[in-house]
Structure 1
Amino acid sequence: MFEISLHMTGLLALAAFVAGLVDAIAGGGGLITVPALLLAGADPVTALATNKLQGSFGSGTATLAYARAGHVRLRDQAGMGLVALIGGAAGAMVAHLIPAAALRIIMPLILVGIAAFFALKPGLSDADRVQRMAPELFTATVVPLIAGYDGFFGPGTGSFFMLAIVMLAGFGVLKATAHTKLLNFASNIGSLAVFAVGGAIWWKVGLAMAVAQTAGAALGAKLAMRVGAGLIKPLLVVTSAGMALRLIWQAWQG
């Protein structure tokens, strides 16, 4: 049997489907699944750990979908993915050392900034733009920083990767989305390995959510590739703003 009731597991699977769809397009799926797991009775560590389990399936499905369509070449990005994996694992290992109270104050402000950037920045499209940072430097600095954040906190990781890839690597929105999913998948796997050793995962519930997350991610990737920046840009604004409001609410309640 599942760790919780069958009815609650079904609701979590529905939440995972919606999260997978949204996350494949714009990131921010954890905004849906982490609160859902907390409402289902999971403690914070279990919620984060179980979310990493089901989220890994969603980001992995989206990565493969984008790769098959030619928007990302997995072999060329293997080194960057490995750095993200290590960064995610390191972030999860030092999670208990990070002052969560400080992050709860800082993160909403950053997410509001991301939402404003994508809402107001003219010319965001699927076309590539000027590269401001060499790939090697991007891999050595930006990737481990964001992946480490994903390991110890998480909300907004996809948006941070998206913003960095668009602004620094010079990719168009659709290509940046494809690469974001690859890096997010790698950091998920790294942090998931650490959480698994700690034994904090609801495995049965997480796998049930993973099936739904996979279906949602496959649909979301198809929609993103069909519509492109016209769909990705507004969803980035909505999800970033939504995550900011959620974090502000949590800080206020605390």
Structure 2
Amino acid sequence: MDSLLPDIAWYWLVGLVLTALAAGYMDAIAGGGGLIQMPLLLLSGLPPLSVLATNKAVALTGTASATLRYMLDGQVAWRVVRVAALPCMLAAFLGSQLAMHMPGWLLELALLGCLVAALLVALLVRPGVERQSEPIASRLRIIASLAPVGLYDGFSGPGTGLFLTLVKHARLRLGLLVATATTKPLNLLTNLGGVAAFVWAGAVVWQLALPMILANMLGGWLGSRAAIRNGARLIRPVLLGMLALLCAMALGKLIHALP
């Protein structure tokens, strides 16, 4: 192991693989797996760009595994994916352009506001009946509901998957299970470009990423299986917990970023 990863001790590798397993599991249920994976990658001593690139590559494969499991069970509302994919990608591009022209403290304040609003909505909206069919919603409603989440994603804001799931549940009236399942292919499409860029730039640490990828894929498969079996009674508490964690992290970053 030392020969493969001269700058990372073997126990870091074991810890990162186990973390990737847990992140894949949690991400498949409610999103936000990066909250589990990123901190340990940063502590491992990798350069920030390598951390971001490796995390993205690992998370993408875990999302692919969860997507496949949800597809096999017939939980994905494909009409939402077809309608929202391109607008979300374009909105994410616009968001990244806006982020480059905003002060850091203002960006963190906007992030915290979004997270608090999402947490309140998640607390107020009760899980409805799980639906297996496509939602009855116009193209305009789907785009208007999900494109702002793509804009948020462009700001590099964490928890995009959480927001996508919550918006589909609250605005498009999808059950939590179907909303979670439909988020996965959308996440795949919106993240492919970023991962491709990182791979092209050689920023992914493949010696570390490959074992983490296998663990994350297993976690994604197991997490999606658990979500399918337990539905809203598992997804909702995990969603609330991840949103609360995001709020706490965003508040800490805002305090640090204030001028």
The TM-score with structure 2 as length reference comes to 0.83
**Residue 181, structure 1, aligned to residue 184, structure 2:** yes
Contact 1:20/1:217, CA 8 A, preserved across alignment: yes
Counterpart CA distance in 1 for 2:212 and 2:123 is 31
Gaps of 5+ in 2: none
Counterpart CA distance in 2 for 1:52 and 1:159 is 16
Counterpart amino acid of residue 138 in structure 2: A
**Residue 218, structure 1, aligned to residue 221, structure 2:** yes
Contact 2:169/2:179, CA 8 A, preserved across alignment: yes
Counterpart amino acid of residue 238 in structure 1: G
**Residue 104, structure 1, aligned to residue 108, structure 2:** yes
User: What residue number does 2:62 align with?
Assistant: 58
Counterpart CA distance in 2 for 1:210 and 1:95 is 30
User: What residue number does 1:45 align with?
Assistant: 49
User: What residue number does 2:163 align with?
Assistant: 160
User: What residue number does 1:196 align with?
Assistant: 199
Contact 2:129/2:175, CA 8 A, preserved across alignment: yes
Counterpart CA distance in 1 for 2:127 and 2:79 is 30
Cα deviation, 1:71-118, whole Å, max 9, x if unaligned, reads 116588345445545655676687645544322222223223222322
Q: Secondary structure at the match of 2:108?
A: helix
Cα deviation, 1:168-217, whole Å, max 9, x if unaligned, reads 22211111111011111211212212333343322322222111111111
Residues 78/39 of structure 1: CA separation in 2 closer, same or farther (3 Å cut): same
**Residue 18, structure 1, aligned to residue 22, structure 2:** yes
Contact 1:84/1:143, CA 8 A, preserved across alignment: yes
Q: Secondary structure at the match of 1:42?
A: coil
Counterpart CA distance in 2 for 1:127 and 1:76 is 14
Contact 2:127/2:176, CA 8 A, preserved across alignment: no
Counterpart CA distance in 1 for 2:60 and 2:82 is 17
Residues 184/177 of structure 1: CA separation in 2 closer, same or farther (3 Å cut): same
CA RMSD after TM alignment: 2.9
User: What residue number does 1:77 align with?
Assistant: 81
User: What residue number does 1:122 align with?
Assistant: 126
Cα deviation, 1:19-39, whole Å, max 9, x if unaligned, reads 111110011111111111111
Counterpart CA distance in 2 for 1:94 and 1:208 is 36
Contact 2:38/2:55, CA 8 A, preserved across alignment: yes
User: What residue number does 1:230 align with?
Assistant: 233
Count of aligned pairs: 252
The TM-score with structure 1 as length reference comes to 0.85
Q: Which has the larger radius of gyration?
A: 2
CA shift at 1:167, angstroms? 2.4
CA shift at 1:47, angstroms? 2.2
Q: Secondary structure at the match of 2:166?
A: helix
User: What residue number does 2:40 align with?
Assistant: 36
Residues 137/182 of structure 1: CA separation in 2 closer, same or farther (3 Å cut): same
Contact 1:88/1:188, CA 8 A, preserved across alignment: no
Gaps of 5+ in 1: none
Contact 1:159/1:236, CA 8 A, preserved across alignment: yes
**Residue 7, structure 1, aligned to residue 11, structure 2:** yes
Cα deviation, 1:47-85, whole Å, max 9, x if unaligned, reads 222211100011111111000001116588345445545
Counterpart CA distance in 1 for 2:211 and 2:88 is 26
Residues 30/210 of structure 1: CA separation in 2 closer, same or farther (3 Å cut): same
Counterpart CA distance in 1 for 2:61 and 2:185 is 12
